[in-house]
Structure 1
Amino acid sequence: MKQLFSIFFIALFAFAGAQDKDSKETANRFFYELTFKPKKDSAKLEKVMTILDIVKDRSIYRDYTMVAQDSILKVQVEAMQKSGVYKDMSKSMKMPKFSEKIAKTYPDMKIQYIERIVNGMSPIGIGYNETIKFDWKISNEKEKIGSYNAQKATAEYGGRKWTAWFSTDLPFQDGSYKFSGLPGLIVKIEDDGKNYSWVLQGNKKVSNWEELSYGEKISNINLKVTEMPRSKFEKTFNDFKKDPFASIRPMITQEMMSKSIPGMDGTIGDMMKKQEKMYKDFFNANDNPIELTQSSSDKK
């Protein structure tokens, strides 16, 4: 993911600050425009930019929306630290369309699927692991996708039929989302119903790459993930989507709920209601999942 996180809680934790450190890793960042149908019974399409960051021994796929706003967020947080006044950043920050983060390790291509949930006053990571052996059928058909010479391949996954175009000009056996295993980077992939379509738009080198964005660091997110079987993950995450603040509510008294926050409109209770609505609106915006079914190994 890029993980969905609460701008409100970023504000609360902002005064702890983020520790910047130099990283020696350099990433190859690939930008994929994702065109998708959020509602299965609607013809409406939406678009979002996603990224695949490839470093020496792994790759990270996520929504680019929050990563792209890191510099803006840093300026606003530093201004809050200097003034000592909170600011409702939800008014100026654009929220992502997708919250998951997908990590693949090389060379075994083991996948770790990660979501962030709220546990008490802290965001935590939950996830599941899987290794997918895509049964690609490589065709002799070739096509130019952007500036790349690409070749066609097809496979079935998650209850959908997928057509991929890969390019050996880019020597990475990887792709957007969970897709991998072709003799070159996947530069385009879509299902036969065009519910989801990723197209490579460009790439660049990112020096001093770090897995955590600035926003994740100041909201006390770390890289530790509680791993569980996929079935337990689905239940835990679905419970969170139904009631995002279930673990917080018992910890906050009525007195705390009635307190106002300097620089923000309303009380802590008002802000919680607003954030809860943001979470629920986010999760209810898409009822057309990428994966319609799970493999038998996923259900363990």
Structure 2
Amino acid sequence: MKKLGLFFLALTSQFFFAQATRFVYQVSMKPDSTNRNNIKTENAYLDITPEKSVFYAENRLKRDSIMGKARQTGSFNFDRSQMQSLRTNLDFLIEKDYKTGKKLYNARILRDQYSYEEDRQMDWKILPEIATIGEYKTQKAQTDFAGRTWSAWFTTEVSFQDGPYKFSGLPGLIVKVEDAKGDYSFDLKETKKIAEMQDFNQRGNLVKVKRKDFEKQEAQFRKDPAAFVQAAMGARGGSGISAPQSRGSMRSPDPNQRRQMETRMAEEQKKNNNPIELK
């Protein structure tokens, strides 16, 4: 009987270890600096195991689930309006490897997937201010990162030294973090166990680059989406990322559809002029 009890204890321990912890953050953003009353709000997940964490938008998970089922069945007759409603302002993945300390940022420009390793450290100044946020006792810290001054509230009641987006490096979990201008904030709303960490199947070409090179590509796209699309459709092979690495992945759409797409992207970029990273 004792051996049986030890067996179930070991089995339970293995199952618990295999589980991941999901921290649900509410993210508030002001992506348009010319219309600061336009506040976008959506949820994002920070999934953590003892080895690593992944941060991504809730809508990304929902969209991927719909597309995954469509590929399995071969039927893509899903509700297009539903897919539109699941678009996200957080269209990226951030992976943190606890063993190596590396942070990988993954994002898509058109149909190509880009990945770079974050090369900037966060130098935190821990302040004496204490506050209770939700169920946690927290302490304040500040850092300057990517052109913004950030204030974070962390708790030592949770052992993970991590947080939303690229934020980490404090002696506990970041419960809340916001920039000094009030443009972006991340607020922990829920914690729960999940069976396993989500495995995202990255589709399209994966281009591994330096951070500065990715930022150049992104800046070109923001400046002139139409020209970027034309370059992507004309790109064939090559090395580095002096041109979009589409390798034929972009099909030439109908001229009217292309004009509509270019107009839509240009309008979106005009309203997306206040990115989370300013430099």
Classify the TM-score, shorter chain. Answer: 0.7 to 0.9
In 1: Cα distance, 2:20 partner to 2:57 partner: 16
Name the amino acid aligned to 1:292: L
Deviations 1:105-161 (A, max 9, x none): 11443222221134xxxx332132224332212122211111111111112222222
Counterpart for residue 229 of structure 2: 245
Name the amino acid aligned to 2:101: M
Question: Normalising by the residue count of structure 2, what TM-score does the alignment of the two structures yield?
Answer: 0.74
Of 101, 104, 108, which aligns to 1:109? 101
Give the number of the structure with larger relative contact order, counting CA–CA contacts within 8 Å between residues 6 or more apart. Answer: 1
Name the amino acid aligned to 1:290: I
How far apart are 1:173 and its partner, in Å?
1.0
Counterpart for residue 77 of structure 2: 87
Counterpart for residue 34 of structure 1: 27
Aligned residues: 243
Work out whether residues 126 and 140 of structure 2, in 8 Å CA contact, stay in contact via their aligned partners in 1.
Answer: yes
How far apart are 1:177 and its partner, in Å?
1.1
Work out whether residues 135 and 156 of structure 1, in 8 Å CA contact, stay in contact via their aligned partners in 2.
Answer: yes
Confirm or deny that 1:142 pairs with 2:130: yes
In 1: Cα distance, 2:144 partner to 2:59 partner: 29
Counterpart for residue 13 of structure 2: none
Change in 2 beyond 3 A, CA 1:117/1:221: same
Gaps of 5+ in 1: 1-23, 258-267, 294-300
Confirm or deny that 1:202 pairs with 2:190: yes
Confirm or deny that 1:64 pairs with 2:69: no
How far apart are 1:73 and its partner, in Å?
4.3
The SS at the match of 1:248 is helix
Instruction: State how 1:148-297 maps to structure 2 within 5 Å.
Output: 148-212=136-200, 217=201, 221=203, 225-241=206-222, 242-243=225-226, 245-246=229-230, 247-248=232-233, 257=253, 272-273=258-259, 275-293=261-279
Name the amino acid aligned to 2:80: S
Instruction: State how 1:7-26 maps to structure 2 within 5 Å.
Output: 26=19
How far apart are 1:226 and its partner, in Å?
2.5
Gaps of 5+ in 2: 1-16, 236-247
Change in 2 beyond 3 A, CA 1:249/1:56: same
In 1: Cα distance, 2:88 partner to 2:275 partner: 16
In 2: Cα distance, 1:157 partner to 1:101 partner: 18
Q: Which has the larger radius of gyration?
A: 2
Work out whether residues 109 and 131 of structure 1, in 8 Å CA contact, stay in contact via their aligned partners in 2.
Answer: no
In 2: Cα distance, 1:210 partner to 1:69 partner: 13
Change in 2 beyond 3 A, CA 1:173/1:63: same
Deviations 1:17-39 (A, max 9, x none): xxxxxxx9532211111111112
Counterpart for residue 112 of structure 2: 124
Work out whether residues 47 and 197 of structure 2, in 8 Å CA contact, stay in contact via their aligned partners in 1.
Answer: no
Change in 2 beyond 3 A, CA 1:90/1:277: farther
Work out whether residues 97 and 282 of structure 1, in 8 Å CA contact, stay in contact via their aligned partners in 2.
Answer: no
In 1: Cα distance, 2:52 partner to 2:19 partner: 12
Equivalent pairs: percent with the same residue? Answer: 31
Counterpart for residue 91 of structure 2: 99
Counterpart for residue 47 of structure 1: 41
The SS at the match of 2:216 is helix
Change in 2 beyond 3 A, CA 1:171/1:275: farther
In 2: Cα distance, 1:273 partner to 1:75 partner: 31
The SS at the match of 2:80 is helix
Change in 2 beyond 3 A, CA 1:285/1:41: closer
The SS at the match of 1:238 is helix
Change in 2 beyond 3 A, CA 1:124/1:176: same
Counterpart for residue 298 of structure 1: none
In 1: Cα distance, 2:116 partner to 2:97 partner: 14
How far apart are 1:176 and its partner, in Å?
0.9
Question: Normalising by the residue count of structure 1, what TM-score does the alignment of the two structures yield?
Answer: 0.70
